[in-house]
Amino acid sequence: MTGVCVAGATGWTGRAIAQSILDSDGLVLRSAVSRSAAGRDLGEAWGGPAVGVVVSTDVGVALDDVDVLVDYTSAAAAKGHALTAIAAGVHVVIGTSGLSASDFDEIDAAARTAGVGVVAAGNFSLTAAMAQAAALLVAPFLPQREIIDYASASKPDAPSGTARELAERLGEVSRHPLTISVAEIGGYPEARGATIGATQVHSVRLPSFVVSTEVVFAQADERLVIRHDAGGTPAPYVAGTLLAVRAAPGRVGLVRGLDTLLLQG
Ligand SMILES: NC(=O)c1ccc[n+]([C@@H]2O[C@H](COP(=O)([O-])OP(=O)(O)OC[C@H]3O[C@@H](n4cnc5c(N)ncnc54)[C@H](OP(=O)(O)O)[C@@H]3O)[C@@H](O)[C@H]2O)c1
């Protein structure tokens, strides 16, 4: 049995992950983390019957008999949670968005030193992973690209974890200078977006969007668009997260991207 702690278990995504762990074979939900439900039974915090899992406010005290920490909290908390778990010899799955490439470098170094595995993905849905894998396949042949990231008006971070991970990973595959650099742009240069991994990223925040990510590749007289659209429930992220929970104990260091995990086998 693999013991799991879910940080963010009262949230939109974490609740679905925690419920699927309660329902799964081979995984056991040992603990949960949330500030507002601290000290309560997780099931009762969800408004239902008790499930026998106590919610803690602090990851450090929730890791007893835990093999894997899953984090779906906030960018401000996730790195600290991951480093606490790694220091305790606990493997980590990071679904939370908003961590930088240097945060991931630090997490990777700590995980290698501790001999534990970390799987992080800006998007744990299978179709998003396939969209990312396709984009990485295209990038060496069509290096000119831009990313458009669509999300709800209330999303507190930009770009989305999906768009950020895609931009950073495209930057590892190919880098192509802009025809006109952002510094040379007249008018409002910021309208050219953020430069991440040598890719311009444009974040649109409007009601009715959940998370959609579009990468546009182009060369003279032709374009290729790869787009992923998520619906309004956390269901797409559950299977990929559980796959990562099962895979993390067999790894040492950071695996970034569900596509990497799937393609490595
Ligand atoms: N990788 C993916 O596939 C994927 C998919 C969906 C979402 N996400 C990302 O996952 C994160 C969570 O998204 P969500 O929509 O589920 O958010 P949410 O509904 O706001 O849930 C956040 C959860 O984290 C807890 N939390 C927040 N800060 C905390 C802290 N400092 N210490 C302990 N617990 C804390 C919250 O409980 P309290 O407020 O009570 O502490 C709550 O349980 C975001 O970064 C989002 O972008 C990633």
CATH number at residue 209: 3.30.360.10
Number of domains in the chain: 2
Tell me: do 60 and 162 sit in the same domain: no
Q: Ligand 1 centroid vs 234 CA: distance in angstroms?
A: 12
Tell me: do 78 and 133 sit in the same domain: no
Tell me: do 134 and 110 sit in the same domain: no
Q: Two tokens at 182? A: 């952002």
| Nearest-CA residue for atom 26 of ligand 1 | 73
Question: In angstroms, rounded to a whole number, what is the distance separating the alpha carbons of residues 78 and 70?
Answer: 10
Tell me: do 63 and 107 sit in the same domain: yes
Q: Ligand 1 centroid vs 249 CA: distance in angstroms?
A: 23
CB atoms within 10 A of CB 29: 24
Pocket test of ligand 1: the residue of 6, 40, 74 to mutate, having most ligand atoms within 8 Å of its CB, is 74
Tell me: do 197 and 174 sit in the same domain: yes
Read off the pLDDT of each residue in 83-108 and give the average, rounded to a whole number.
Answer: 96
Q: Ligand 1 centroid vs 112 CA: distance in angstroms?
A: 26
Tell me: do 163 and 223 sit in the same domain: yes
Tell me: do 86 and 214 sit in the same domain: no
pLDDT digits (tens, 9 = 90+) for 175-213: 988 999 999 999 999 999 999 999 999 999 999 999 999
CB atoms within 10 A of CB 222: 8
pLDDT digits (tens, 9 = 90+) for 201-246: 999 999 999 999 999 999 999 999 999 999 899 999 999 999 999 9
State the residue range of the domain holding 52: 2-120+234-264
Pocket test of ligand 1: the residue of 20, 31, 34, 164 to mutate, having most ligand atoms within 8 Å of its CB, is 34
Q: What is the CATH number of the domain that holds 11?
A: 3.40.50.720
Tell me: do 39 and 168 sit in the same domain: no
- From the list 237, 83, 238, the residue with the least C-alpha distance to 161 is 237
Tell me: do 253 and 210 sit in the same domain: no
CB-based contact 39:113 (threshold 8 Å)? no
Task: Write down the pLDDT at residue 265.
Answer: 67
Q: Ligand 1 centroid vs 254 CA: distance in angstroms?
A: 21
For residue 7, name the pLDDT band (cuts at 50, 70, 90).
very high
pLDDT digits (tens, 9 = 90+) for 133-182: 999 999 999 999 999 999 999 998 899 999 999 999 999 999 988 999 99
Q: The whole model's pTM is what?
A: 0.91
Pocket test of ligand 1: the residue of 57, 72, 164, 260 to mutate, having most ligand atoms within 8 Å of its CB, is 72
HSE-up (13 A, CA, CB side) for residue 6? 27
Tell me: do 133 and 222 sit in the same domain: yes
Q: Ligand 1 centroid vs 231 CA: distance in angstroms?
A: 18
Tell me: do 108 and 20 sit in the same domain: yes
Tell me: do 144 and 111 sit in the same domain: no
Q: Ligand 1 centroid vs 96 CA: distance in angstroms?
A: 7
